[in-house]
Structure 1
């Protein structure tokens, strides 16, 4: 019930040890009220409902050109008035569950902040679209093959749940340590406080809640322009307007198909769609990424292309497709046996090696380097701390006031819960892969190897996310391993990748939500239960939504056959499909191995492994030089690793907005930043999401895609940017160079 006479538990004067991270000190309160009810009737009703809706929307919008992500922040906003209405009108009667000793009240008192947090965590469990649906999409929309619905459902369930068992192993290091501060969670902490704290409006200003509502309304009203009336402002490329007939100028200036020099956007979705909100990323991480992006996009990539290294001029400078030696898109049917769905060596020998655009080669090389740099960086900078925490697991040496309050007031989650869950989900994964005629091609040892791979990388990648808000994925290394061990099997390759990538991603999501609950003082067992139930529900919704769209939307994921203005282009799944060709069909040996063209990319594994060493050495030798400690080589190397799926205009806008707020505003107007920065981020995200949903269901779902004019095209009007510049290459719509 609501607390009426017991004051909040606060740290005593001699116990105060607030967070060592300034952003946390400015945002997270050091108080707790353990008598406040959390798991209530309202929590279940609103949590289940919001989880299902969010899972549906994000899977639904994941097929769009600008894949709008409806975060759990939207749920945070919507459930508050509903929760208060339930508290005002539901009866307080206690309901007895038949044949048990359990009972509950429909209305345990005023709607409180802990209920609100648990509902948001419930929703967060369904907030990400399922990786398994990408495999189903690839099979049905790109390879035009069938998959048994039950196999697809078990695949969805196992990929979503596998990471939870792994997360429990590292919870102590990534949650209890005050140095693992998970920056993105501060957005939600700020919003919770704005929605629940009693605040007096400052003279001439706004309360945080008033500020949030103002931003939400403005963002909502404005987004009808880029989403419906004028989609072309999602990417404006000035150089293309000036030099309409120059391939080189458009390669340099295109924000979608080139280097993005002079490009910009008037759309928050362009800023935040792929890299997340820049307002939630620390300034030092943004600067590291910016340096890495400039070194690659504006120096290394142009040198590679214009010196024609590996015949780069035969292909677009910026593309996620794969090509043959004549500069045309690779005809996969010539190297894939339709009956066995395996690599056709004879067809390959009579056709062509596989080529990539310059940007795509850099994507893989940077991913090689980022992964080894992450392991090296964490070992050098955090290895001693992790080892000492392991030895002193029962001591408070590495705790702060938040960790001590959680230990004092609540029961922890037993480790055997995580281990049991891990065993069950691995069993389901084996059934999905081995049963149903082996449709997924992955042998049993592939499932076990994927689990071990994720187990190895969860800690180093988790440290990176918990300190910089940027994540290194396992997709490339997983593709590389399975491509060498089991070549010519595209479905085995992508399934192995999904088990490795998804288990890591789900581990990090679980840990991030646990850290949010840690900051907001939610009982750990309640968090575990809510996340588990939420993920089970979301698995069913993700599968159902994906299956429904793939079987009802005509020509989905085929832009050449879709009507003008249609959003169903599946850009993420297109990259996923092309990766399956590179790693699964042709195999990495014919790409990056002794039979391939891009063998030199393998040296980047070594470059990444060694890159953090000089920074670590300088930091120890010159500890007074604070700027040295801010250099983070995994983040710097990964600065441009999202290309070509993340377009240049996305990067340019993300850097500009992030540096303005988290460098300039943070230094010059810290009071405003502390009050409003994260709330601004939440309001912009929520406004975009609500308008996108409204537009789709009221207009676009009925085929009303906006007024017919040049601005309706979801393009930056740089048609020549994707043209090759090598002599003699003939591509429709492109000039032929001599």
Structure 2
């Protein structure tokens, strides 16, 4: 019977293929903002629906193409296979992500890695394990099915889908930069509270964010398509290619694993392939313009997948319109405006590297925060006036402006182009527009709201313990405000994200609020930001996976248990691996760490604690201060979507319909620690696959694109781990030859490409601060 259902679904997908091909050209995660694209998409959607003659299905064509409209309630879900493989993947993934987060460039495992890797493990389990019961659960309930696969994928996504637990950055910064150690109790309380409070919020608001049919959550459709394709196992010919997705993935994985040993160990120049800097290693302009590490990477070539996907994820997954918007942002803001203001010496930029995630003092040295704080980590104004104001590199300055603009641009753009959708969802919170997937879920017992209330009470108590049992100087009222901010912003942010796949980040807002609320307290700033920002982000992650559970028809109570346990376990693994890394990796998080475990993300987090927590926004961004002008980005971000909206009302076919300001300002948010070099290579690969290959060989792209991405990610992850285990743990040296040494002999890699170099003891900047 199940085979018949899969056959019917495969026929439906095949029948709709032509319409979907047209649909993908006009509808994507970011083009939802475009009214013209909406109109074209709706017409194509109606054509596709008429073509399929489906009376009871989702009203959205992209959902119909990705999700079966049937369910087999007899399919086993709560099995030992789910729990063992799910917790195994959560453990390995959370541990690897914690280690990889310390490396430069950063790299995080994709959930596609788990989706593909667990498939042969599940199939092996069904062939090897005996069919007996252990503690009432069948050890081998039969064929490894799509629901088990989806549950394992969700467990892994909760444990490490957003990278390592964000709160570990607080612990690392306190330990390494402020020489403050609160111990295991604090570490676990702060990690578990920030990771799991969002689970309670997502569950309590699931009737608004998950159950309605118009809450699509586009990224879940990619996972749903991937899982459905594997379990349908329809190995059709795609542009002449007959190999199955699984075999293709295994070949790519093996090739990626073997290849990374060259840029990662044997021939490291293949990674930072900034060859103009090799020709002129001591030329400041050449290293600033073409540098890959501390330059703007004007000639972006690399043979290292980690450079391409390390900071932003695989470029094979996002829609083309998003990649084009990111490319436009990178070119305009970092290849045109950045060098323009740098070489004009605006705000003393020529005294610093053009691209760096570090903060500097007036002597061109890394800012020494210990010179401006008291023993209790509080700010000392007299020491600050005697020492130095804080200076930012050019790309760091631009990145703050981009963050400010993206926040206001997304809110205004969402209000203008999605206001009706948001209001409709809020008015009809009781799900006035149910679809077949919501109705099919009625066959399963739901989760009562009081379960989520208990979860909230437990982790809110842990949050209070974390800030009061240790000397964090974080007032409880500030903790409550940060959690309320995360909660009240969840509905508007969640609705926009579920419809458009555009996320509004609260990191800038939380930094602003705590910088004025509790000035001069870096620990308080980091904790407030993490609760306000990450609790909201984690809630989106939990809600997104709840939607995948609805699409895959997973038991809500089983999903509740899987999400909760994987969230708690992932946090524990992160804490354990973090402490192990601090004790076993020599010079971890130091700029001189020989194997590039320099902790770029933690360095940015530390710099943010100085900017917003120690010195505070009043002394940096208020009127009359050095970086006051960056605040105008808030106004720019708010104004530009209004211009688009007014123009499109009068001229619907105007070229401005191609400009997506939220993606333009927010797409390059990882700079720093990423550089324009990383984003340029990312966009180049994304355009090749999502435009040229997709347009020319659409069937090949549909069948193999996500398998290619997963294979590259997994091969890189395992090769990186093997190099780490073989070399870093044994403190072995890398091969010393030209192919490894040439990159480290340039001003780009040493971050010494500075146009104006001061004499010893000489300073620059304003005369008073």
TM-score by length of 1: 0.90
Structure 1, residues 279-302: CA drift from partner, whole Å, max 9, x if none?
111111111222222221122212
How far off is 1:666 after superposition? Answer: 2.4
- CA 1:714–1:470: 2 relative to 1, 3 Å: farther
Per the alignment, residue 233 of structure 2 pairs with: 198
Q: d(CA) in 2 for partners of 1:262 and 1:580?
A: 33
1:4 Cα deviation (Å)? 9.1
Where does residue 114 of structure 2 map in the other structure? 75
Q: Verify: 1:697 aligned to 2:728, yes or no.
A: no
Against the structure 1 CA distance between its residues 624 and 638, is the aligned structure 2 distance closer, same or farther, given a 3 Å change threshold? Answer: same
Counterpart of 2:455 in structure 1 is 421
Distance in 2 (CA, whole Å) between partners of 1:61 and 1:284 is: 29
Residue 482 (structure 2) aligns with: 450
* Matching of residue 344 in structure 1 with residue 380 in structure 2: yes
Q: Deviations over 1:659-697 (max 9, x none)?
A: 111122223322222212222211211221222223333
Q: Distance in 2 between matches of 1:711 and 1:497?
A: 42
Say if 2:201 and 2:487, in contact at 8 Å, map to a contact too. yes
Contact persistence 2:241–2:700 (CA under 8 A): no
Instruction: State the shift of 1:239 in Å.
Output: 2.7
Change in 2 beyond 3 A, CA 1:711/1:174:
farther
The separation in 2 between residues aligned to 1:204 and 1:8, in whole angstroms, is 21
Match of 2:189 in 1: 154
Identify the residue that residue 735 of structure 1 maps to in structure 2: none
Report the CA distance shift for 1:647/1:594 in structure 2 as closer, same or farther (over 3 A): same
Residues 254-653 of structure 1: matches in 2 within 5 Å?
254-337=291-374, 339-397=375-433, 400-406=435-441, 408-436=442-470, 438=471, 440-463=472-495, 465-466=497-498, 471-560=503-592, 562=593, 564=594, 566-594=595-623, 596-623=625-652, 628-653=656-681
5+ long unaligned stretches in structure 1:
98-102, 733-738
Counterparts of 2:663 and 2:613, CA distance in 1: 28
Q: Is the 8 A contact 1:15 1:401 kept in 2?
A: no
| Matched-pair contact (CA < 8 Å) for 1:122–1:534 | yes
Residue 16 of structure 1 and its aligned partner are, at CA, apart by 4.3
Indicate the SS of the match to 2:739. helix
CA offsets 1:107-136 (integer angstroms, 9 cap, x no match): 222221211111121122211311111111
Is residue 85 of structure 2 the alignment partner of residue 51 of structure 1?
A: no
User: Displacement, 1:46?
Assistant: 1.5
Matched, 1:107 2:157: no
How far residue 179 of structure 1 moved from its aligned partner, in angstroms, is 5.4
- Check whether the contact 2:110–2:710 (CA below 8 A) recurs between aligned residues: no
Q: What corresponds to 1:736 in structure 2? A: none
Measure how far apart 1:628 and its partner are.
Answer: 4.8
Contact kept? 1:265, 1:649, Cα under 8 Å? no
Q: Does 1:15 align with 2:55?
A: yes
Contact 2:371 2:384 in 1 (8 A): yes
Q: Aligned partners of 1:50 and 1:7: how far apart in 2?
A: 27
How far apart in 2 are the matches of 1:679 and 1:531?
Answer: 25
Q: 1:455 offset after TM fit, Å?
A: 2.3
Aligned match for 2:149, one of 110, 113, 116: 116
Q: CA deviation at 1:492?
A: 0.7
**Quick one: structure 1 residues 730 and 168, their matched pair in 2 at CA, closer, same or farther if it must change by over 3 Å?**
farther
Match of 2:691 in 1: 663
Mark the runs of 5 or more structure 2 residues left unpaired by the alignment: 13-51, 762-769
CA distance in 1, matches of 2:64, 2:286: 48
Q: Is this contact kept in 2: 1:474–1:501, CA < 8 A?
A: yes
Shift of 1:262: 0.8
- Cα distance change, pair 727–223 in 1 and its aligned pair in 2 (3 A): closer
- Are the equivalent residues in 1 in contact too, given 2:113–2:714 (CA < 8 A)? yes
**Residues in 2 aligned to 1:255 and 1:706: alpha-carbon distance in whole angstroms:** 21
TM-aligned CA deviation for residue 204 of structure 1: 5.3
> Given that residues 107 and 309 in structure 2 are in contact (C-alpha distance below 8 angstroms), is that contact kept between their aligned partners in structure 1?
no
CA contact (8 A) 2:320 2:690 kept: yes
Q: Is the 1:141–1:556 Cα contact (8 Å) retained in structure 2?
A: no
**Structure 2 residue matching 1:526: 3-state secondary structure:** helix
Displacement of 1:253: 0.7
Q: CA deviation at 1:441?
A: 1.9
Work out which of the residue numbers 130, 133, 157 in structure 1 matches 2:168.
133
Matched, 1:233 2:261: no
Specify whether residues 117 and 541 from structure 1 end up closer, same or farther in structure 2 by C-alpha distance, changes over 3 A only: same
Per-residue deviation, 1:177? 5.1
Asked whether the 8 Å contact 1:7–1:33 carries over to 2, the reply is no
- Given the superposition, is the C-alpha separation of residues 130 and 676 from structure 1 closer, same or farther in structure 2, using an over 3 Å criterion? same
Q: Which residue of 1 aligns with 2:31?
A: none
Q: Give the distance between the partners of 1:727 and 1:228, measured in 2 at CA.
A: 35
Tell me the secondary structure at the aligned position of residue 278 of structure 1.
coil
Which deviations, in whole Å up to 9, do the C-alpha atoms of 1:383-409 show, x marking residues without a partner? Answer: 211211222334553x55444444x44
Once the two structures are TM-superposed, the CA of residue 462 in structure 1 deviates from its matched residue by 3.7
- CA positional deviation for 1:174: 4.0
- Relative to structure 1, the CA distance from residue 632 to residue 174 in structure 2 (aligned partners, 3 Å threshold; closer, same or farther) is farther
1:713 shift after superposition: 5.3
Distance change (3 Å), C-alpha of 1:360 and 1:253: same
The alpha-carbon distance between structure 1 residues 182 and 216, as it changes in their structure 2 partners (threshold 3 A), is: farther
CA distance in 2, matches of 1:270, 1:229: 16
Greater Cα shift, 377-386 or 572-581? 377-386
The answer to whether the 8 Å contact 1:557/1:569 transfers is: yes
Q: Secondary structure at the match of 2:554?
A: coil
Distance, in Å, in 1 between the alignment partners of 2:169 and 2:556 is 32
Q: Deviations over 1:326-368 (max 9, x none)?
A: 322222222111x222111111111221111111111111111
Higher alpha-carbon deviation: 316-325 or 689-698: 689-698
SS in 1 for 2:687: helix
Instruction: Report deviation, 1:87.
Output: 2.2
Contact persistence 2:166–2:534 (CA under 8 A)? yes
Give the CA deviation at 1:530.
Answer: 0.6
Evaluate the alpha carbon distance shift between residue 643 and residue 620 of structure 1 in structure 2; reply closer, same or farther with a 3 A threshold.
same
Q: Secondary structure at the match of 1:70?
A: coil
Using the alignment, how far apart are the partners of 2:289 and 2:326 within structure 1?
Answer: 20
Contact 1:185 1:512 in 2 (8 A): yes
Cα distance, 1:422–1:377 mapped onto 2, change above 3 Å: farther
Count of aligned residue pairs for this structure pair: 715
Change (3 A) 1:619 1:522: farther
Task: Provide the residue aligned with 2:739 in structure 1.
Answer: 711
Which aligned runs of 4 or more in structure 1 are off by greater than 6 angstroms? Answer: 2-12
Displacement of 1:246:
2.1
Cα distance in 2 for residues equivalent to 1:194 and 1:441: 52
Counterpart-to-counterpart distance in 2, 1:731 and 1:444:
46
Task: Tell me how far 1:533 sits from its aligned partner.
Answer: 0.8
Q: Secondary structure at the residue paired with 1:223?
A: helix
Alignment of 1:21-100 (within 5 A): 22=62, 24=63, 26-95=65-134, 97=135
